[in-house]
A and B are shown apart, each in its own frame.
Chain A
């Protein structure tokens, strides 16, 4: 607006000059015509007057011509000033339009926010991020004030308990494992691809999945067996709940061959059964676990002298074959590696179509920032949740099921709980006793359970809690 006014002023100054020039030229033209034609139209004058008139006419004519020449040289400048004025007007109008649109958009967002604020607090954050209103609404992450008269846990513990509730984390894991345990034709999650940096909890998470999977399969069919083919090139660096079947980089090829052999065998048995008019036999669950995939593949170059370039390509081919064909024969492949990016892992997006992907911690964040990330529509939502957990220094996972929407969940530190358990069962009992004696009043069942969780990383069920309360000789007031 200010610029337009300045130009308007300049234009006005020039306009004055235009008028003056026009008046001057009109004067010269009039004088030239009068001076030239007056002696012709009125010849009854003395010679000198006529000569003066003619001279006056001629000089005026010359003056007019000169003025016209000067004006012509200025023509371009005037034209550019006119053009600039027009451009400024256009820009000003566009600017006004943008401002008006933004004002309307902000008003609409505020209206929307008013509606969102009426929703339950737990839903507010989700809808605010869905509509891009994060800046206007703070996420409902405040710790609720504890009821008066009841004992509060220390602030740090209380916050961790609030922000990393164990139930929801176990819930998604239970759901995932529950579906993995189903029969092949009912199963949504056939294979798993777990990625994460060093010490991000990949192996621990898989151990947990394996334990839950064994339980779930046993529940469905008590007679079923699970065959686990664990290939760990860096054993014993990684702690597993079971001993690996193939150890070291030299044995990776053998391990894969074993799995391919099993696949071939199961295929043949199915073909024979079909020939004999029988239904397909029920195969035991075969789980092939391939750890340290990034090192084995080595971006196509293999691993040092142990795995050559050709071997790496052959292994990748076999893995792809298992990914594509094995699900129908009750076989599950679990690939564990560091980077989820196609460039490093050597798997394209379509290769992993039948796999559920679990990416842990910072690697998940890096993956969401990669242009090849497949869920661009909700990337900001996922990033926010990941950032939240990473900031809290909690372990978290981005889970991309092969069917359904991806989600972010915090995962418990199973290994730490294990370490503390291993350090001695007596220790935690002592600590609970210390804690109770430091309190001014007797804790409730829930508080004891919360404290147990803060120590051990898991909660007790009702029966266990009752037993603990009896052991501690705490009688609750009814």
Chain B
């Protein structure tokens, strides 16, 4: 039994208990929230189809292996698994693209391998940086974003490097 096995079930039970204490209709609210997620979630499917097809073709052509191979020396220098490089490249640009690449990686390597775990940590701990910056500044009249892009990318790169390091640390 792992300590992390307790987190999810205990959290779920706590939310239900807190809802009952607050006299909320726990079931009806759950259904309403799930319905909202279904509506917004369905919008993920079209970009997912586009990008999984594009990345599937890219991989089948052998181009993905060549790209990864070319970047391997950089990865080795940073102690970063080569399989995760395409994920690091697409992560700041496209959320659906990152999902598509993550899916491809886990088809090739076990999710419980070093590369599989590192890819999981990357997906869990980084964000679609360029998209976020575009949408957030998009509602304002700001034209000059100053150090926002540079600092966000430094944060992303730090995340990529430490995803491999923390996996080594926690899983030996």
Whether chain B is bound by chain A comes out as no
Task: List A residues at the B interface (Cβ < 8 Å).
Answer: none
Task: List B residues at the A interface (Cβ < 8 Å).
Answer: none
